[in-house]
Chains A and B, each alone.
Chain A
Amino acid sequence: MTWEIAGIWAGALLTLCLYSFLYRDNPFYKFAEHLFVGMSAGYWVIYTVENVLKPNWWQMMFPADGSFHWVWIVPGIFALFMLARIVPKVSGLSRMALAMIVGTGSGLAMVSSFQTDALAQVEGTIVSLSAGSAFTIFSNLVLVVGVVTGLVYFFFSKAHTGVTGGAANVGITILMVAFGASFGYTVMARISLLIGQAQFLLFDWLPTIPRLLGMHG
């Protein structure tokens, strides 16, 4: 038995343990669940130290040429501040580190986000309703009507009666179609994950059984 086959068997048995939950909660499921949580936590600690802390902080502070860059002590202190939440007396220090993260993130994302997800989308909605083929005009019309009526549905300063109510109804219909499409995609995603695991069990795990039993040439 090679390590590869041992890995495949471990994966297959844990997969079956996890799927056993679909019948009902049981010790096999609990075992696999706890193993997964424990291993994930351990894996991520090591991964973060090796791939984030070491190359982005430690090796910057102590480069290969043997020098010492003291300025990197500052982010180290801020990192320790994050851990201050564990100690109630000094937990307020963590806000300083969080403030820096939130401030930097907001500063970078605010303008970009507004440009990408608001202005560009508004620009994309300004389309011709007279040029192009009949299908293009129809598509553009659906786009414009969908956006305007969708926005009307979220306009709460006027009662949804009369023309406003009719537009809001069209808007909510469009939104429902969008939610339906999202739901369809979600179903496809979940089934895809099942297919991936089924392919693993059928084409990776099952063929190892005859090999282990010595039935393979």
Chain B
Amino acid sequence: MARLMQRIGNLDRRVIFVLIALSVFLPLSFRIVFPNPVGAEPSRQLYDYVEALPAGSTVLLSFDYDPSTMPELQPMAYAVCQHLFRRDIRIVAMALWPQGASLGQEVLSEVADSLGGEQYVDWCNLGYKTGGGVMIVRLGSSIQAVFPADKDNRPWAEIPMLRDISSLTDFALVISLSAGDPGVPAWVMMAGDRFGVPIGGGCTAVSAPQFYPYLGTGQMVGMMGGLKGAADYESLVREGTEGAPQGQAIEGMAPQSVAHLVIMLLIVVGNISYFAQKRKGGAR
């Protein structure tokens, strides 16, 4: 037993890498899907808020991420766009991160094509603009001054859905899909607290704990945190929609759960080994 504990304590880290890889690849290969019950999570709060918006409202959707965080944030983008289009809510997209504009275009055009949304009537993509929080303050007075044309250089005046939009306060909601800074904090600080625009968002799991206080104070109306948040939103959007395709985030929750179980097991076994060796005076 003592030798076993010692061997576990000196386990080659590559064995752990293999275990984690198997815990991710096997559930995906066999297309295992775990049930994903959604409780009173912040993602439900965001869903309920969107659900309560009147049809015909306009939402500003900011794609504040790049390909490095796509696995977490892109599924959120698909789920949110599907929800907004189904509710007949118009989407004005933009990006605080350079590559976010292209990622947003990919999502919007794909979802709009599948649900019959028309560019410049139901959605448009203003593209990327540098400046972060400073630029958001400018949006509070005039969006057209910041974005005289959209991503494809179509002038503001020639986009029908923007006729009634002049500043941030004309949006029913701002949703930021954020991988860091600039992202949710800049929107909360500059758009929410300064101009009183309701802010919702999605973020990487790493930054989720940082944003929970904003939910408690009402500075955010709801939030999707990491892959779990994306899976929750996908589940809610799929509820009551027959034949809706299964989202990427829900597929990812089975490997996520198995990998977490493996990590928990390794932590427990590692601690048992550590304390067993410590008792014998072997561990440092």
**Which chain B residues lie closer than 8 Å to A56 at the CB level?**
130
Among residues of A, the one whose C-beta sits closest to the C-beta of B130 is A52
- List 10 A-B pairs, Cβ < 8 Å: A108-B134, A112-B133, A115-B193, A124-B218, A188-B260, A191-B259, A192-B71, A192-B227, A195-B28, A197-B71
Assembled-state Cα–Cα distance A18/B103 (Å): 24
B24 x A185 contact (CB < 8 A): no
Closest 3 CB pairs of A and B: A196-B71, A124-B217, A189-B205
The docked-state distance in angstroms from the alpha carbon of A71 to that of B208 is 43
B251: nearest chain-A partner, CB-CB: A199
Which of chain A's residues have a CB closer than 8 A to the CB of B252? Answer: 192, 195-196, 199
Assess whether B226 is in contact with A188, with CB atoms less than 8 Å apart: yes
A198 CB contact (under 8 Å) in B25, B133, B185: B25
B-side interface size class: 35 or more
List chain A residues, Cβ under 8 A from B192.
Answer: 116
Docked complex Cα distance between A185 and B68 (Å): 17
**Is B137 touching A195 in the complex (CB atoms < 8 A)?**
no
- Measured CB to CB, the closest approach of chain A to B190, in angstroms, equals 6
B217 engages A191 (CB within 8 Å): no
Nearest-CB residue, chain B, relative to A192: B227
B residues at A contact (CB < 8 Å) = 14, 17, 20-21, 24-25, 28-29, 68-72, 98, 128, 130, 133-134, 137, 185, 188-190, 192-194, 204-206, 208-209, 213, 216-219, 225-228, 248, 251-252, 255-256, 259-260, 263
Closest B residue to A23 by CB, please name it. Answer: B14
Contact of A189 among B21, B24, B70, B204 (CB under 8 A): B204
B29's nearest neighbour on chain A, judged by CB, is A202
Q: Which A residues touch B133, using CB under 8 A?
A: 108-109, 112
B134 touches A185 (CB 8 A): no
> Bound state CA distance, A120 and B213, in angstroms?
9
Question: Which residues does chain B contribute within 8 Å of A47, judged by CB atoms?
Answer: 98
Q: How many residues of A contact B (CB 8 A)?
A: 38
Assess the B255–A189 pair: CB atoms within 8 A.
no
Q: Is the CB of A113 within 8 A of B189?
A: yes
- A214–B79 alpha-carbon span in the complex (Å): 36
Asked if A90 is at the interface (CB within 8 A of a chain B CB), the reply is no
Q: With A188-B226, A192-B256, A195-B252 given, is the CB distance from A116 to B189 under 8 Å? A: yes
Chain A hits for B216, CB < 8 A: 124, 143
Q: How long is the Cα–Cα vector from A199 to B72 in the complex, in angstroms?
A: 12
Residues of B with C-beta under 8 A to A173? none
Q: Return chain B residues, CB-CB under 8 Å to A51.
A: 98, 128, 130
Q: Do the beta carbons of A22 and B248 come within 8 Å of each other?
A: no
**A182 and B98 contact, Cβ closer than 8 Å, known pairs A112-B193, A195-B227:** no
- CB proximity of B10 to chain A, nearest CB, Å: 17
